[in-house]
Structure 1
């Protein structure tokens, strides 16, 4: 079957190890084959090509965590990307870490990982949800968004941040989002968000901060937080060792919460929100599997607004 896979690892030139070609379809006992109709890219895929979480002895490894497709009974499904894994120190792994990923014509998955896709959600939209959008949904839940009036999202443009901003707007919150790129600020504003430059003073302190950037924005996140606010962290794309003024943390009684992925039930709830038209995934661009190298280059260049979809 046709697939986009890691054939070599390179920390400095990760895309040099990306190959599109034929690999045999394999499936652990008891898993279900899914014909993939759409998949989407995440920065996790580029980190894999760098060798982070993917050792050389597992190559070749089909990349991709997210997919929507059709099971053997003809049911349209979305694949939950987390697999229980006793061999992993975390107790779980994502597709493309220990088991072949989603950027292929076919995928094997545990049956319990298959979530019904509502009829009102396209395969492309559904493929955007399992990692970035689910992470954003879980972050908002962890941060008790229901109790928040105003939300700050750092680094809008990427998959998680854009999803968090769109979801918070759909929940009726006042949303501020930062981006260095004027074009991205214009696009995020079109979603009903107040877009600002990084480090800009906000007209109010916020109750919830969605933080996926890290060291470059964390001081700003602290300064924008209202008393009792929650700062929810899911990533560190711009440094993982911020300087934290602990005086502000205890004086303002702030909560700093870590967050990673979400649950199958949350993915099902997110799908229902999309099916109801409450929110729609933001798709940056769509590529065929044969143009996966172009899709990866676009993601690596950082010019993305929303999700990149691959349609086998």
Structure 2
């Protein structure tokens, strides 16, 4: 049996997720009809990978499961591509890579051919690998769902995480005024350098905003409601602090606010996102690029929480 290098979940451990991480040999992918094999040049880690190692969204009988949702590499025709991570079934449901199908933290990955999106030459493999999950989610939150205009305003809660950091840069690229919150003074300083007005969590804004990017949940949701202007949109793609916030319904209907849920995006939106970055020169914030040969260190970095931007694996090293 042909094998390749990969990082995969071999067991689950809620208290110590890295205990179930194995970096070693895995079977080479065998493509289904209509699927393609990509030689991975770079992949990016997400907190989803740590949840997988805790057993969230996976069953024991699915192990070993190669981790990773995000990757860029070389398609079967030699073209440079970015892997769109959502796989749809004939029944109309879907999953992301590393849930039902093997993930991207490997030398090669197989996906439906329609999941291959051309990579602009302006983006490196490491930069492109950051985009399919966190950056695509942020782009959809601001554009398709948030309908943010060039002269508009946005609040990004919990800046420092992957989606939130992406939202700050993208909102600026779209021409909007951007406010961002964080409890961490060092992260606020770094967010200021990205072009946002950084504030402590819960602080009063100079204005009410058109769009709130909400990934934190219970800890910030009341503040998000207060910061949205009449007709404003609160777009939710996560709830890291809890998923059952109190909602002031009187404020909701009196100000005609919209609370919108979203997750990921479409291949066309991914292509539009990459075109925006190629055109504007905006690039993902990369915390660190780690050689694939030291993949465990990359997972340890993510698990530590001491991360600003994306942790990327260089599969050529």
TM-score bin, normalised by smaller chain: over 0.9
Corresponding residue SS for 1:47: helix
Q: Is the 8 A contact 1:86 1:92 kept in 2?
A: no
State how 1:236-255 maps to structure 2 within 5 Å: 236-255=239-258
Please give the per-residue CA displacement for 1:208-256, whole angstroms capped at 9, x wherever unaligned.
1000000010011011111111000000111111111111111111100
User: RCO (CA 8 Å, sep 6+): is it higher in 1 or 2?
Assistant: 1
Corresponding residue SS for 1:38: strand
**Which 5+ residue runs of structure 1 have no aligned equivalent?**
none
> What is aligned with 2:221?
218
How far is the alpha carbon of 1:105 from its aligned partner?
A: 0.7
How far is the alpha carbon of 1:118 from its aligned partner?
A: 1.0
Matched, 1:16 2:12: no
> What is aligned with 1:108?
110
> What is aligned with 1:189?
192
> What is aligned with 2:235?
232
Matched, 1:264 2:264: no
Corresponding residue SS for 1:72: coil
Corresponding residue SS for 1:151: strand
Provide the C-alpha distance between the structure 2 equivalents of 1:306 and 1:99, rounded to a whole number of angstroms: 26
Matched, 1:118 2:124: no
Residue in structure 2 matching 1:285, options 270, 283, 288: 288
Q: Is the 8 A contact 1:4 1:289 kept in 2?
A: no
How far is the alpha carbon of 1:86 from its aligned partner?
A: 4.5
> If the length of structure 2 is used for normalisation, what is the TM-score?
0.95
Q: Is the 8 A contact 2:150 2:174 kept in 1?
A: no
Provide the C-alpha distance between the structure 2 equivalents of 1:230 and 1:148, rounded to a whole number of angstroms: 15
Provide the C-alpha distance between the structure 2 equivalents of 1:219 and 1:49, rounded to a whole number of angstroms: 32
Residue in structure 2 matching 1:79, options 77, 83, 94: 83
How far is the alpha carbon of 1:162 from its aligned partner?
A: 0.4
State how 1:12-91 maps to structure 2 within 5 Å: 12-30=15-33, 31-86=35-90, 91=93
Matched pairs, number: 310
Please give the per-residue CA displacement for 1:250-305, whole angstroms capped at 9, x wherever unaligned.
11111000011101000001111122234211111111123222211221222211
> What is aligned with 1:297?
300
> If the length of structure 1 is used for normalisation, what is the TM-score?
0.97
Corresponding residue SS for 1:165: helix
Residue in structure 2 matching 1:95, options 94, 97, 108: 97
**Which 5+ residue runs of structure 2 have no aligned equivalent?**
none
Q: Greater shift after overlay, 245-254 or 140-149?
A: 140-149
Corresponding residue SS for 2:12: coil
Q: Is the 8 A contact 1:170 1:278 kept in 2?
A: no
Corresponding residue SS for 2:149: helix
Aligned-residue Cα RMSD (Å) equals 1.3
